[in-house]
């Protein structure tokens, strides 16, 4: 038997082609397959159309060792997965009397007064040569078909039915067929760089990784206010992969330096929180254009009450003066969006909150309110302690919420660098 190495997932259901519904089963399936060292190389969503499904199965099966179809196994005319598979693989459907008997049992056991509608016998139709996968949580049985050295698996769409059936396959038939090289992933998060810059720095390393044993795959993702580098590798031994990825992460850290803020999946607010907690420091923020987002992110982290005591949101000049003691002359002379004001805000909240670190953020989130000298997206961030005062002026692009998020990211990153 061919070892299973490459898989594709097809989700079946017209509701998954509307603007309000996503196929999420494939995430869970991917995770389980990756654990067995099986790569998912493509996913597809098809509606309740036999023809489209036949076409998709045919096209995908040519490229993979394992095709998992989920959904479309119900008892109605809409449920076309069994038929489409039978047509594509040229394996005629026949009723499996054992399944029909179980369906009738199940129907009776659920206390329905009437006998099972004959239409439900559709669920007992099985392509020739298929093995039935029991469904303890629903009526639709799953199917496993060995076909020309490949495997086709049919699973029902409801997540709890699918999950328990998949778990059984992962422990049994799938594990027996998988290549046995588990895939391990690491994510490196970087702030203060742009994608193409990170990419250029890493180009020579990519080439080494591609030639390494095990080879390491890398993907760069530009996120708002951050660059993510996803590294993955597989090898026969989980330890070997883990070590190879740890070395790879170290290589990235050596090449990128202090701009790397997370190598273990933690978000920036958690990294900053851990630094504050480890040093026993408290932080307070004086937020103007971020409107509370920085403190909201800091307090998304469980246990953040150890280092967050109070913050203030001061939109107006009056609020900046009243709550933070920013001198009126400073506001008049430099304007609210200026480095002197941001620094005074940071100092103001630091003193008021008796915190060790103060953040002051003031800017123009947009879409209106910009001027040629102070355009929309201009944000000034100050971070101060009793002994150090840092301030930077940024220019962010994008809509209001994106400007706010990037400003919060910049502020948290400045705190991280100050504490590192």
Q: Residue 193 class from Cβ within 10 Å (0-12 exposed, 13-18 middle, 19+ buried)?
A: middle
Candidate list 215, 266, 299, 390; residue touching a second copy; CB under 8 A: 299
Does 353 bind a second copy (CB under 8 A)? Our answer is yes
Select the residue interacting with a second copy from 93, 319, 351, 418 (CB under 8 A): 319
SS3 category, 264: coil
192: region left, alpha or beta (phi > 0 left; psi from -120 to 50 alpha) = left
Cα angle for residues 152, 155, 159 (degrees, 5° grid): 145
From the centroid of its chain, how far is CA 322?
42
Can you give 360-418 as a three-state secondary structure string? Answer: EEEECCCCCCCCCCCCCCEEEEEEECCCCEEEEEEECCCCHHHHHHHHHHHHHHHHHHH
Separation of alpha carbons 129 and 161, rounded Å: 23
Among residues 25, 34, 81, 262, which is the contact residue for a second copy, using CB under 8 A? Answer: 34
In the complex with a second copy, which residue's Cβ is closer, 92 or 227? 227
Residues touching a second copy, count (CB under 8 A): 102
Contact 164, 136 (CB under 8 A): yes
If one asks whether residue 40 binds a second copy (CB under 8 A), the answer comes out as yes
Half-sphere exposure of 290 (CA within 13 A, CB side): 29
- State whether residue 317 is helix, strand or coil: helix
Nearer to a second copy, 146 or 185 (CB): 185
Residue whose CB is less far from a second copy, 44 or 248: 44
> What's the half-sphere exposure (Cβ side, CA atoms, 13 Å) at 257?
5
* Site map 2..31 versus a second copy, x via CB under 8 A: -----------xxxxxxxx-xxx--xx-xx
Applying the rule CB under 8 A, the residues between 85 and 124 that interact with a second copy are 110-112, 117, 119-120
Subset of residues 361 to 400 that bind a second copy, contact rule: CB under 8 A: 365-368, 395, 397-400
The secondary structure of residue 287, as a DSSP letter, is: E
CA separation for the pair 66, 5 (Å, rounded): 8
The reply to whether omega before 214 is within 30° of 0 (cis) is yes
Q: Is 32 exposed, middle or buried (0-12, 13-18, 19+ CB in 10 A)?
A: middle
> In the structure encoding, which two tokens stand for residue 342, read together?
């941001």
Stretch that binds a second copy, among 59-67, 124-132, 234-242, 244-252 (CB under 8 A): 59-67
Using the rule CB under 8 A, is 134 a contact of a second copy? Answer: no
Under rule CB under 8 A, residue 196 binds a second copy: yes
CB closer to a second copy out of 140 and 151: 140
* Contact flag: residue 41 with a second copy (CB under 8 A): yes
Secondary structure, 3-state, 70-118: ECCCCCCCCCCHHHHHHHHHCCCEEECHHHHHHHHHHHHHCCCCCCCCH
C-alpha distance from residue 220 to each of 206, 244, 270 (Å): 11, 19, 22
Decide whether 1 or 136 has the Cβ nearer to a second copy.
136
Q: Which of 93, 179, 255, 292 binds a second copy (CB under 8 A)?
A: 292
* Distance separating alpha carbons of residues 232 and 106, to the nearest angstrom: 44
Residues 244-263 within binding reach of a second copy (CB under 8 A): none
Q: Name the minimum Å distance from CB 400 to a second copy.
A: 6
Of 45 and 145, CB closest to a second copy: 45
State the nearest-atom distance from the C-beta of 408 to a second copy, in Å.
9
Regarding 314 and contact with a second copy (CB under 8 A), the answer is yes
Q: Which CB atom, from 77 or from 388, has the smaller least distance to a second copy?
A: 77
Q: Which stretch binds a second copy (CB under 8 A): 80-88, 92-100, 255-263, 302-310?
A: 302-310
Question: Is the CB of 54 or the CB of 86 nearer to a second copy?
Answer: 54
Task: Decide if residue 205 touches a second copy (CB under 8 A).
Answer: no
222 sits near a second copy (criterion: CB under 8 A): yes
Which one of the spans 88-96, 237-245, 296-304, 327-335 is the region binding a second copy (CB under 8 A)? 296-304
Applying the rule CB under 8 A, the residues between 172 and 191 that interact with a second copy are: 185
**Which of residues 92 and 375 has its CB atom nearest to a second copy in the complex?**
375
Question: Residues 25, 81, 262, 295: which binds a second copy (CB under 8 A)?
Answer: 295
């Amino acid at each position: 038997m061919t070892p299973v190495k490459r898989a594709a997932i097809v989700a079946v259901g017209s509701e998954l082609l509307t603007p309000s519904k996503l196929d999420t089963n494939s995430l869970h399936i991917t995770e389980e397959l990756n654990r067995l060292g099986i790569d998912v190389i493509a996913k597809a969503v098809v509606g309740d159309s036999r023809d489209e499904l036949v076409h998709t199965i045919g096209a995908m099966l040519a490229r993979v060792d394992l095709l998992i179809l989920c959904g479309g196994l119900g008892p109605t005319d809409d449920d076309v997965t069994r038929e489409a598979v039978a047509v594509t693989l040229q394996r005629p459907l026949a009723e499996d009397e054992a399944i029909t008997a179980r369906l009738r049992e199940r129907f009776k056991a659920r206390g329905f007064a009437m006998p099972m509608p004959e239409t439900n016998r559709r669920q007992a139709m099985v392509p020739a040569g298929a093995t039935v996968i029991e469904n303890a949580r629903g009526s639709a049985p799953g199917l496993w078909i060995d076909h020309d050295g490949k495997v086709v698996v049919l699973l029902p769409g409801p997540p709890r039915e699918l999950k328990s059936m998949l778990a059984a396959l992962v422990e049994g038939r799938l594990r027996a067929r998988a290549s046995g090289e588990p895939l391990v992933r690491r994510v490196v998060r970087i702030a203060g760089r742009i994608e193409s810059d990170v990419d250029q720095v890493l180009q020579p390393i990519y080439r080494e990784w591609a030639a390494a044993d095990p080879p390491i795959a890398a993907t760069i993702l530009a996120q708002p206010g951050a660059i993510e580098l996803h590294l993955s590798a597989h090898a026969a031994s989980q330890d070997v992969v883990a070590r190879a990825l740890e070395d790879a992460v170290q290589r990235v850290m050596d090449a990128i330096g202090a701009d790397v803020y997370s190598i273990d999946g933690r978000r920036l607010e958690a990294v900053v929180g851990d630094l504050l907690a480890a040093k026993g420091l408290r932080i307070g923020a004086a937020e103007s254009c971020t409107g509370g987002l920085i403190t909201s992110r800091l307090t998304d982290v469980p246990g953040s009450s150890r280092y967050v005591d109070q913050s203030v949101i001061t939109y107006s000049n009056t609020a900046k003066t009243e709550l933070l003691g920013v001198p009126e002359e400073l506001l008049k002379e430099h304007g609210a969006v200026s480095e002197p004001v941001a620094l005074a805000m940071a100092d103001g909240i630091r003193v008021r909150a008796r915190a060790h670190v103060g953040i002051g953020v003031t800017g123009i989130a947009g879409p209106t309110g910009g001027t040629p000298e102070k355009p929309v997206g201009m944000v000034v961030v100050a971070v101060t302690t009793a002994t150090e005062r840092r301030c930077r002026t940024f220019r962010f692009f994008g809509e209001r919420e994106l400007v706010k998020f990037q400003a919060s990211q910049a502020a948290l990153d400045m705190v991280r660098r100050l504490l590192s």
